[in-house]
Amino acid sequence: MSTPILEVRNVTMTFGGLTAVDDVSFNMAEGEILGLIGPNGAGKTTLFNVINGVYKPTRGNVVFRGRDITGLPPYDVVRLGLARTHQIVKPLNEMTVLENVVVGACFGAENLGLEPAQYVAEEVLEFTGLLQMKDELAGKLNIALKKRLEVARALAANPRLLLLDEVLAGLNPSEVAKMLDVIRSIRDRGISILMIEHIMQAIMSLSDRIVVLNFGQKLAEGTPDEVANDPQVIEAYLGDPEMAKRILEEEEA
Amino acid sequence: MLQIFSSVMDGLLIGLVYGLAAIGLTLIFGVMDVVNLAHGSIIALGMFFLYLFFGAGLHPYLSLVPVAILGFFFGVIVYLIAVKRIISGPPLMSLLSTFSVSMIIIGIGTALWSTSPYNINFKVETYNILGYTVTSARLIAAVAAVLVTFGLYFFLYRTVLGKAVRAVANNREAAELMGIPSQQILAISFGIGTMLAMLSGALIATLFPFTILSGGVYELKSFVASVLGGLGNPTGALLGGIILGLIEGSVAPFIQISWTNVIEFVIFVLILLFFPTGLFGGRK
């Protein structure tokens, strides 16, 4: 087996007395879509922040393409080819859509000059379906378009691994469908994807494998089917295993 | 009539230089939300740097180049020493910190040059255009201010580094997550803001006598011009400077010069009351 694109090794992150991520380990293979799920407050976004360098983990390591990136600042992590989007979108409001993506390309893995960055940006905008509004101010977009802009900006950095933090949240069903298409075509370009998502149907159909977090700990890991039928996972989501079992049986009947 | 016209023209030309100073102030505020209280003393320092290079035998306009370079590095150093650590702290901290820098500059300046006035003595041509008499110094100062402003715009909108500055100004956190080392960009921005302040000081020094305390007046003018144009908006600051210059020019023939400050600050208060984001829109 080739080197995993991402290895999370025994990562623990504490804030004062609170342990947000507790001894979590998993590997991701090149080209894989790995879903990261768990109830609210399970530590998913914190784990993302550890992976891309916003937080330095209290213990443990993050290894990206065989290189230990633990504690590297986010701007260096991007340059190594690990980009991310945010649950709460962070566009550069007073710059145009195109400029937002150009900045992403200039300071991404390729470190492009302004002209090639422009070219890359237009291509990425076309790919994400934002090309018609490239001259709009980013702050004026609606939430669905802002989410797509997040993805476009991250893609412009030419990443090997893309972290997607709830890119589907707040979108209506047709927007969700569009975004799913975008995500699939990103994978088809050979970019590995680690995604947090609450829309179960979407993540179950997209992911090759799923990691479940609960109270900061890894609860389960496996294919979508394995995870969906794991009693512990069901308990974490629904609280009562007996009831969960009944619901499952009812569904099967 | 001609006298009023001359006065207004003089006001316009000096207004461009005020505008340049105001851009320095507003750029730093726009990028990092720091109100730089060392702005005035940095302007005064620009005057004295010009004086030093001039004293060393360099032509005043040629001296602008080393003043600009020195200004940039001076700003970067001030940022690293006095601003970097408190950049995310409450606004009062950066006010106190930059105020301390101002006191240090004025203290050292007073020790070196006392508070007596200096001036730059060089040959100035006088032109007469349709009865309006203007000195080459005033014209060149205005043209230089405009050129530097164009240069700044080119930098901000047409270069990768400039885009990074604007990205950091928009959202520091997001910029960092997009691969921009924000601390370096902040240091560069502070350097540029300081450079503009020093250049404006140097240009003023080619026009009027100055002391190490002269910066205070221009700092206040910079505040008025920035607020007029909307804090954080460089174009607005330039226009604010021009408006300020025009006001000064048009009231000068009618009342005593000491009244101009009163009028300027009455306008300042009115703008704050009725157009809190400035006439041309602020950054937010």
In chain A, % of residues over pLDDT 90: 55
What is the third-level CATH fold of A1-74+161-253? Rossmann fold (3.40.50)
Q: Is A239 on the interface with B (CB under 8 A)?
A: no
Is-above-0.95 flag for pTM?
no
Q: If you average pLDDT over residues B201-220, what whole number do you get?
A: 94
Q: Is there a contact between B174 and A90 if contact means CB atoms under 8 Å apart?
A: yes
Residue A242 has pLDDT above 70, yes or no: no
Residue B280 has pLDDT above 60, yes or no: yes
Residue A241 has pLDDT above 80, yes or no: no
Q: What is the pLDDT of residues A37-80, one digit of tens each?
A: 988 888 999 999 999 999 999 999 999 999 999 989 999 999 99
What is the number of domains present in chain B? 1
Interacting residues of A128 by C-beta distance below 8 A, sequence separation 6+: A148, A149, A151, A152, A155, A182
* Least confident window among A105-114, B74-83, B85-94, B194-203: A105-114
- Residue of A92, A124, A146 to mutate when probing chain B, most B C-beta within 10 A: A92
DSSP, collapsed to helix, strand or coil, labels residue B64 as: helix
In chain B, % of residues over pLDDT 70: 99
Q: List the single residue in B160, B180, B283 with the smallest CB-CB distance to A75.
A: B180
d(CA A29, CA A182) in angstroms, rounded, equals: 21
Q: If you average pLDDT over residues A117-127, what whole number do you get?
A: 92
Q: What is the pLDDT of residues B247-277, one digit of tens each?
A: 888 888 888 888 888 888 888 898 888 888 8
Q: List the single residue in A84, A103, A108 with the smallest CB-CB distance to B164.
A: A103
Q: If you average pLDDT over residues A194-223, what whole number do you get?
A: 90
Contacting B residues, span 263-282, partner chain A, CB-CB under 8 Å: none
Report chain B's mean pLDDT, rounded to a whole number: 91
pLDDT at site B73 = 98
Residue B172 lies in a domain: yes
Residue B111 lies in a domain: yes
Q: Which residue has the higher pLDDT, A212 or A248?
A: A212
Q: List the single residue in A73, A94, A103 with the smallest CB-CB distance to B178.
A: A103
Alpha carbon of residue A237 to chain centroid: 21
Measured CA to CA in angstroms, residue B2 lies from A211, B59, B141, B242 at distances of: 81, 33, 22, 20
Residue B225 lies in a domain: no
Q: Is B84 on the interface with A (CB under 8 A)?
A: no
pLDDT at site A91 = 87
pLDDT at site B282 = 60
Predicted confidence band at B62 (pLDDT cuts at 50, 70, 90)? very high
Domain residues for the domain of B72 are: 17-213
Q: What is the pLDDT of residues B17-36, one digit of tens each?
A: 999 999 999 999 999 999 99
What is the DSSP-derived secondary structure letter of residue B84? G
Predicted confidence band at A252 (pLDDT cuts at 50, 70, 90)? low
Largest CA distance in chain A: 61
pLDDT at site B284 = 42
DSSP, collapsed to helix, strand or coil, labels residue A34 as: strand
Residue B222 lies in a domain: no
Residue B223 lies in a domain: no
Question: Cβ(B245)–Cβ(B131) under 8 Å?
Answer: no
d(CA A184, CA A182) in angstroms, rounded, equals: 5
Q: Where in chain A is the domain with CATH 3.40.50.300?
A: 1-74+161-253
Residue B46 lies in a domain: yes
Q: What is the pLDDT of residues A140-152, one digit of tens each?
A: 999 889 999 999 9
Report chain A's mean pLDDT, rounded to a whole number: 88
Q: Is A50 on the interface with B (CB under 8 A)?
A: no
Q: DSSP letter string over B202-230?
A: HHHHTTS-B-TTTHHHHHHHHHHHHHHH-
Residue B95 lies in a domain: yes
Predicted confidence band at B210 (pLDDT cuts at 50, 70, 90)? very high
CA-based nearest residue to A148, from A32, A136, B159: A136
- Please count the residue pairs, one from chain A and one from chain B, whose beta carbons lie less than 8 angstroms apart: 72
Q: If you average pLDDT over residues B158-168, what whole number do you get?
A: 93
